[in-house]
Amino acid sequence: MEEIHKKILQRNRTNLVTDLNPSSLYDGLLEKGVFTQDMIDEIKSAGTRRDQARKLVQDLESRGSRAFPILLLCLEESGQHSLTELLQRGAPAVQIQPATPNQVDLPVVRPLPLSVCTDVEQQGKDTVPIYPIQKPSPTLSPSPEREYTITRPPGRIRRDSIQSYKMDASPCGHCLIINNVEFEPESQLSSRKGSNIDCDKLEKRFKALNFIVEVRTNLKQKQITHALSALSKKDHSQCDCCVVIMLSHGTEVSHNRFPGAVYGVDGQHVPVQRITNYLNGQHCPSLQGKPKLFFIQACGGDERDTGFEVSPGEFEPSIGGADDQTDAIPLSSSSDSLSMSDEVDARATLPTPSDILVSYSTFPGYVSWRDTQSGSWYVETLDQVLEENAATDDLVTMLMMVNHEVSQNSAKGLYKQMPGSFNFLRKLLHFQTHA
């Protein structure tokens, strides 16, 4: 960091420690490369908000020349405008310079749109070449938008031009299943009867798909993060894919990419966004360019979907019965199992690393149902669809099948469920099968 910027931080440290909300900056500082996830975790472990703010300011001084302008940007993005103005007083103008553009023959990766049912044909639109155009007159203020434009080559993008991920390594990759069933009394979370059935199905299924499967049961929050960290530190260079499956209760958290969080058995949660970060290209280089798949069996909120009327014959008779439960936080003193719910929030605002797919058992905001005898609707359907269709269909198509099948179920003859995915894969994904 420039010496003048260090002095500004030191001069205003008291105000920063008093007023700064560090938790609103973590995601931005992580995304923009100022801190790594381990560094963020260390700052969070400092203690109170003031302690975290003090350590964040101290650590910023050692994070390079762009740390100060990025701090200002993150403060603005998080609405802490008074602190931005405070740090800019008496300081030279600060501007973050745009990164040098790539050579003209390199593609720009663009994520697919967020949707519950992702259209396979849309995947052909994820890479477009970037061509430089004439720079504006020197009298104009330069900006990336004026200097460069993204244009498509002439001709229609065809579905048959979509490539497929390489998926022929043996083993294909690692699969980590975290199955939280028995929660500590202090967590005030109920046991998840039927989850072991889900776990057994998925363990057998992904072994059949030629994955090395590791099952971890009843993990606390820190044990979950340690398991994910250990997975990220494995050498995946000889593998083609990586899978993480979370079976637990869920909750709503603030985020900028993937909604929701899952609970450890101690009642402390881990955001889905943080779960995915362990395997992104920055933290796990040996998985760069390879598909990272996350399957989340947890509720999406306390809303209960009663569905809507459809024409006769459009749906098959629904299923579900008295043993249906939600993967849930107790929100009511009612003895009815419908008083239990998980929560997931639903905002995604920042660019997402490519080659990641997160499949949720339910739409953000709604509960996810689990039968104590046969397991969750989502996992039961996912397992069946993989068994019957993995030899012929790609993953996104199969997840649409899961969406359709689960949407026909009903709990207690009334409540519905709608799974969905955040899909940032760039290619088609076909699992290995022995068919």
Residue 167: per-residue pLDDT: 96
Angstrom distance (rounded) from CA 99 to CA 42: 29
- Cα distance between residue 139 and residue 375, in whole Å: 66
Q: How many CB atoms lie within 10 A of CB 71?
A: 28
Separation of alpha carbons 115 and 124, rounded Å: 16
Could you tell me which residues come within 8 angstroms of residue 153 by beta carbon, excluding any fewer than 6 positions away?
128, 129
Smallest Cα–Cα separation from 112: which of 97, 122, 98, 104?
A: 122
For residues 189 and 248, the answer to whether their CB atoms sit within 8 Å is no
- Give the C-alpha separation, 330 to 339, whole Å: 7
- Cα 260 from Cα 263, distance rounded (Å): 10
β-sheet with 324-326: strand ranges across: 324-326, 369-371, 375-376
- Residue-level pLDDT at 64: 86
Cα separation, 419 vs 404, whole angstroms = 9
Q: Is 74 a catalytic residue?
A: no
DSSP H helices, 233-310, are: 272-277
Q: How far is CA 37 from CA 44, 284, 385, 430, in A?
A: 10, 12, 35, 31
| Chain length of the chain | 435
Instruction: Give the DSSP letter of residue 77.
Output: H
What are the structure tokens assigned to 212, written together? 């090395």
Q: Beta-carbon neighbour count of residue 283 at 10 Å?
A: 19
**In the chain, where the domains are located:** 3-88, 173-424
Q: 249 an active-site residue? A: yes
* Rounded Cα distance, 302 and 68, in Å: 41
Q: pLDDT tens-digit profile of 262-306? A: 999 999 999 999 999 999 888 898 999 999 999 999 864 444 433
- Band of pLDDT at residue 391, cut at 50, 70 and 90: very high
- Please provide the average confidence, as pLDDT, over all residues in the chain: 75
pLDDT in tens, 393-418: 999 999 999 988 887 776 555 566 78
May I ask the CATH architecture of the domain 173-424? 3-Layer(aba) Sandwich (3.40)
Q: Of 172, 242, 284, 299, which one is the catalytic site residue?
A: 299
Which has more pLDDT, 97 or 21? 21
Q: Give the C-alpha distances (Å, rounded to integers) separating 269 from 113, 231, 251, 253.
A: 27, 19, 8, 9
From residue 153, alpha-carbon distances to 28, 129, 144, 158, 302 in Å are 34, 8, 21, 12, 47
The confidence score (pLDDT) of residue 347 equals: 35
Q: What residues pair up with 376 in beta bridges, in sequence order? A: 370
3-88: which CATH number, 3.40.50.1400, 1.10.533.10, 1.10.260.40, 3.30.70.100?
1.10.533.10
pTM of the entire predicted model: 0.57
Which residues are CB-neighbours of 52 under 8 A, at least 6 positions away?
Answer: 22, 23, 43, 44, 46
Annotated catalytic residue within 249, 269, 283, 430 = 249
Cα gap 260→246, rounded to integer Å: 12
Q: Which amino acid is at 412?
A: K
Q: Is the pLDDT reported for residue 65 higher than 80?
A: yes
pLDDT digit string, tens, across residues 192-246: 888 999 999 999 999 999 999 999 999 999 999 999 999 999 999 999 999 999 9
